[in-house]
Amino acid sequence: MAASSDILRIAAFQQIMRPAYLHHTMQQDALVLQTIHRKRHIQQKPMGQWDCVAPGGIAWLSVADGVASSPCADLASRSFLQVLHPERLATPLSARQLPALVRQARLNWRAQHLRPHTRGAACTLASLLYSDGQVCAVNSGDARIWRLRPQIDGGVQWLQLSRDHTVWQQMLDDGDAEAGQADAYASMYQGLLHCLVLDADEDPNEDCTEQEDWLHIWHGRAEPGDAYLLATDGLHSVLSDVQMQAIWGAANSPQEGLRALHSAFRRNGAQDDISVVLLHSGKHCKKFKSDSC
């Protein structure tokens, strides 16, 4: 993604839903920005912006969204990311290690946090590990990851690397519905089929190497100019793919595009908590006021 002369940069924002829609007082989203030889940064704030450099061309980024209908939703998202990400990334990881790390974290999370009062707590996850030009993206639930690749004609190709684990996506996959029919179906079809849940239904000795329904995995190699966007469903529940691509296309830099998405989210009602993380080359970076990460 970044040539040797470029800087690999991370930018992110987080916001709780507007008070007019407020049904909870805690941010149910959490995010992690982690780079080599530095302490992990877990964020769960009502409002925040972050901007930092990823030295050594290594970055591990995650967003999680506590399922509002489950108990301890804010704890679910934060605690899973605390288990998944080590306090400090002392040695480089291979991108291909990410699926195994998520599988093990799921087991450890249950062992450490499953209690009578937390049983059923659930969250979604999107996590991306970039290392030495190799990329792995995984997700569970409806948190998403996109790759944004510059084109020769000056446009940007958006490729969704994640897969929504929803009833609606399953209907699309089975040929029972078409993408243009989304508005004609009740919101119940957007319900989750899979996510991360604190329960005791899984056998810890079960073979986890086979394809799991709950975890979608994508592997690829970065090209110069690629950017990666991770988001909880607060973003794509109010902005369509077409809207996001148009907003991004009008921006002069990746960070300007990120700010424009944030502004559009607020204008469209901000009906859910949101966490968005951008990984991009710092070649066209414009510094903006942020919290340190």
Which structural domain, as residue segments, surrounds residue 164?
8-292
Q: Identify the bridge partners of residue 16 per DSSP, sorted by sequence position.
A: none
pLDDT digits (tens, 9 = 90+) for 30-48: 999 999 888 899 999 888 9
pTM of the model: 0.89
Q: Which helix (H) or strand (E) holds 148?
A: strand 144-150
Q: Has residue 2 been placed in a domain?
A: no
At 24 the pLDDT is 53
Distances (CA, A) of 25 to 32, 66, 232, 266: 21, 13, 18, 18
Q: Has residue 266 been placed in a domain?
A: yes
Q: Has residue 105 been placed in a domain?
A: yes
Weakest-pLDDT range from 54-58, 61-65, 256-260: 54-58
CATH at residue 144: 3.60.40.10
Q: Has residue 58 been placed in a domain?
A: yes
Residue 185 has pLDDT above 60, yes or no: no
Q: Has residue 3 been placed in a domain?
A: no
Weakest-pLDDT range from 82-86, 137-141, 176-180, 267-271: 176-180
The CA distance from 118 to 285, in Å, is 42
How many separate domains does the chain show?
A: 1
Q: Has residue 235 been placed in a domain?
A: yes
Span 123-151, mean pLDDT?
96
At 177 the pLDDT is 66
Q: Has residue 60 been placed in a domain?
A: yes
Q: Has residue 44 been placed in a domain?
A: yes
